[in-house]
Amino acid sequence: MKTLVLSDIHANIVALETIWAQEGDADLILCTGDLVDYGPFPREVLDWVRAHNVICTQGNHDLWTVMNFQEGRTLSSVAEAECAWVHYTVEHLTADDIGFLAGLPTATTVDLDGQPHGLTHLYNGYEEIVSLHAFSEFNDTTFADGSLARLILGHTHRQSIRYLSNDHLWINPGSTSYRRKDDPDQTAHYATIVDGSIQLHRLAYDLRPLRAALETIHLKESEMRVARHFWGAR
């Protein structure tokens, strides 16, 4: 069995479709969340996720989008100096899209090749789980089955596999869309699990559609600067 593991897509359909062109033989797709916000194609990503029956948990940006929708905060309703990616995202989604995001679980358990895996977006802010004790405590408070030996997390955008014992580990597939500011890499990050074996991947993709989209979007400069850093020419 082959499982494709994604996280932090952030409305980047270009990277997502490039990954699928490479990994389209996957039997199952998982995503830890942050499907939308900070990217130009939120509706396209949600359509793709639903069409491919992706098992998702809710990310903080997904929840932030829901909250702004409920408050009626769109590009046309906020001051020009306040316009952010979340307002762009809200303006490009339907009530059904928002309902989908609102209904995503914060955590779930998925059986992969007879091994249960806990799937959730984040541990504690941008911290990572660095001890078996913290791993066990997080298990107990997050998942109905507190004895899980494998967790899949996102949020930090830092791709990694961390073993805390011979049997206990957590995986972060990295962000499909972008890195943190200290990492200049512009590839799409993801992971695969094939018959229990975990592999981390980085895939170059065409950034030109994202750059073209940015030319048509007008947000406050701090928000635009983030996107130009991640997708602009080096």
pLDDT beneath 70: ranges in the chain = none
Where are the strands (E) in 32-142, listed by range? 55-56, 107-112, 115-120
What pLDDT is recorded for position 206?
97
Long-range contacts of 178-185 (CB under 8 A, 24+ apart): 178/8, 178/10, 178/12, 178/38, 178/230, 178/231, 179/230, 180/156, 181/229, 183/158, 184/234
Dump pLDDT digits (tens) for 2-23.
999 999 999 999 999 999 999 9
Per-residue DSSP letter, 57: -
Q: Tell me the C-alpha distance between 42 and 39, whole Å.
A: 7
Output the DSSP codes for 73-94: --TTTS-GGG--HHHHHHHT--
Q: Which residues pair with 152 in a beta bridge?
A: 119, 171
| The residue type at 146 | G
Least Cα distance to 52 among 108, 116, 6 occurs for: 6
Dump pLDDT digits (tens) for 60-97.
999 999 999 999 999 999 998 999 999 999 999 999 99
* pTM (predicted TM-score): 0.97
Give phi and psi for 47, each to the nearest 5.
Answer: -60, -40
Domains of the chain (ranges; CATH) run: 2-231 (3.60.21.10)
Give Cβ neighbours of residue 218 (< 8 Å, ≥ 6 apart).
Answer: 83, 224
Helical axes 95-102 vs 60-70, angle rounded to 10°: 140
Tokens of 98: 């928002």
Tokens of 205: 């993709």
Tokens of 75: 């590009």
Per-residue DSSP letter, 20: H
Cβ atoms < 10 Å from Cβ of 56: 27
What pLDDT is recorded for position 174?
98
CB-based contact 223:82 (threshold 8 Å): no
What pLDDT is recorded for position 181?
87
Give phi and psi for 211, each to the nearest 5.
Answer: -65, -40
